[in-house]
A and B are shown apart, each in its own frame.
Chain A
Amino acid sequence: MFGLVGCLVLLSCSKKDDAEAETILPPLDEITVTASGEYTVNDLPGDLTKTMDGKDITDDGGFNTVYYSLEDGRTIPKEYANTDKWDIAFAGVYNSTIWANNGSVKYESGGSNPGYGSPARGMFYLVVDPEVDQKYYNPTTHTPVTVPIPFEYLNEAYNKVSVVPVSDDKFDFYGALGLDHFLASGDGYAYYDFYGNMAPGNPKKSHVVYNMARPFIIKTAKGNYAKVILYSFYKGKPENPDRDNIAPYISFKYTILKDGSKDFSTIK
């Protein structure tokens, strides 16, 4: 008798869970990308419910991660984090830490890739082009020679990536992509002027992020390749941002090859 009751309870419980799991996933936006090509995303909102303004100094902000599908050209709700629906995630403070979707990565510390558990095996590779870098950047001190860094240079570096430059084993599947040489980070995609060193005496120029001419390759959840250049984290994509600009609004351009090809020169 007790056994039977237990069974019934178990059955009803699992049934209910299944039903909930199905109804809990929100609908996805319309697919806007169906073919290989170059696409531009302007002012993709990060977590706008969070700001550091007026908060206590010990507040970490608690920004929610934003997931995006390069394959389909749409933002993906967080409920799909552990699926292969997304290809690039923007996490952390002002959504400035970039992840590819890799379901296999979990750390000893307990943290993990935001896609942990998904079938995706995505990864990224940052392209550092010394010829373009030398126009605005000192590789010895790891600082720009001047700011702002013209978008012209970002486009130049992006356009020069005609093929996926390295094999998959040179990609990073384990970590995340972040700021350039900030507190022991290595090469990154943006310069963060913590002290306002680039514009002494102008308080609106400290704690400003300048995107660099550093495109990156994303291997998507489906295993295709995309090249991406990130222009700005500020609303309106200002080329010369200061602290009056509003963050995080993410503006970027990318070229996706939907057939597994590595040759970007076939586009346009």
Chain B
Amino acid sequence: MFNTYRNIPKAAMMSLMLLVSCTKKEEMPVLEDSKSTVVKDLAGDTGASVGDGVDGKTKRDFRTFLFNLKNKRQIWLNNAADSAKYLKTKDWDLAFTYIYNSIVYVNNGEASGNPGAGGPGIGGITYVEKPYSEVNEVPQDASFNKNQTFTGWDGWPQPYNFGWYFYQMSTHIARPIKNRTFILKTAEGKYAKLELINVYQGNPPVVTDLHWPAPYLTFRYFVQEDGSTNLKTN
């Protein structure tokens, strides 16, 4: 019973693999600019799967990893000791969690359910419907609501939650949301912008093979270290 909860994420991820077919005829955008950090194919928990019978993978929870934006450090939480050591610290800005490490939290100690709950992090996340390269400033009306300190599957778990990919029940197609840029506050409270781009190895424009290697995360970001709201990167 309740096996749809298994089915939905699996279907979502299968569909994610198909997501880029619509961009087939478009040029691959250049991710690099003069200031941003581009992370390509950062391996997530490639040993886990949501279903049985996937070669080389075990059906189990995906292990969470943390990421420090400033020093680009990936920190794995492989056991309770790791969690105890890192979660309630400002050593991390992003936590990549749950299915295919695709639900991404900021570090906020005051938000219920946040991996850093109880810790010193003062991170936040909101978004603008604008291409990454055109986001030059933190919007004046930006609000960092403690009710949502993550982004993942758009409209989940609440219909009003903003995500970085769509999953449509009717078509079973999931696709990353284009031209949506996340405005962050880091664990320290510095402003940043973030674009989450892909979970498939090589950031391919077209994926048809359901066993395409995943999760390998591609994303880019810029942290404004001077404390201002200036996010211009070109």
**Interface segment, one of B67-75, B155-163, B185-193:** B155-163
Contact sample, A vs B, 27 pairs, CB 8 Å cutoff: A52-B3, A52-B7, A57-B14, A58-B172, A60-B169, A61-B4, A93-B8, A94-B2, A109-B159, A142-B113, A174-B158, A183-B9, A183-B98, A183-B103, A184-B157, A184-B161, A185-B113, A186-B157, A187-B112, A192-B2, A206-B6, A208-B1, A209-B1, A209-B2, A233-B1, A245-B1, A246-B1
What distance in Å separates the Cβ of A117 from its nearest Cβ neighbour in chain B?
16
B107 CB–A CB distance under 8 Å: no
Q: Is the beta-carbon distance between B172 and A187 smaller than 8 angstroms?
A: no
Q: Please, how many angstroms separate the alpha-carbon atoms of A61 and B112 in the complex?
A: 31
Contacts of A247 in B (CB 8 A): 1-2
Consensus secondary structure, chain A interface:
loop
- B185-215 to A contact mask, C-beta < 8 Å, 1/0: 0000000000000000000000000000000
What distance in Å separates the Cβ of B185 from its nearest Cβ neighbour in chain A?
19
Contacts of A112 in B (CB 8 A): 159
Q: Is the beta-carbon distance between A207 and B160 smaller than 8 angstroms?
A: no
What distance in Å separates the Cβ of B48 from its nearest Cβ neighbour in chain A?
10
Contacts of B161 in A (CB 8 A): 184
Binding site for B on A (CB under 8 A): 52, 57-61, 93-94, 96, 107-109, 111-112, 140, 142, 174-176, 178-179, 181-187, 192, 194-195, 197, 206-209, 233-234, 241, 243, 245-247
Q: Is the beta-carbon distance between B7 and A57 smaller than 8 angstroms?
A: yes
What distance in Å separates the Cβ of A238 from its nearest Cβ neighbour in chain B?
11
Q: Is the beta-carbon distance between A207 and B113 smaller than 8 angstroms?
A: no
Q: Is the beta-carbon distance between A208 and B2 smaller than 8 angstroms?
A: yes
Most buried by A among B10, B98, B113, B155: B113
**Given A183-B103, A184-B97, A207-B5, CB of A109 within 8 Å of CB of B14:** no
Contacts of A175 in B (CB 8 A): 158-160
B152 CB–A CB distance under 8 Å: yes
Q: Is the beta-carbon distance between A192 and B5 smaller than 8 angstroms?
A: yes
Which 10 pairs show the lowest CB-CB distances between chains A and B? A185-B157, A186-B113, A111-B159, A93-B4, A58-B172, A247-B1, A175-B158, A60-B169, A58-B11, A207-B3
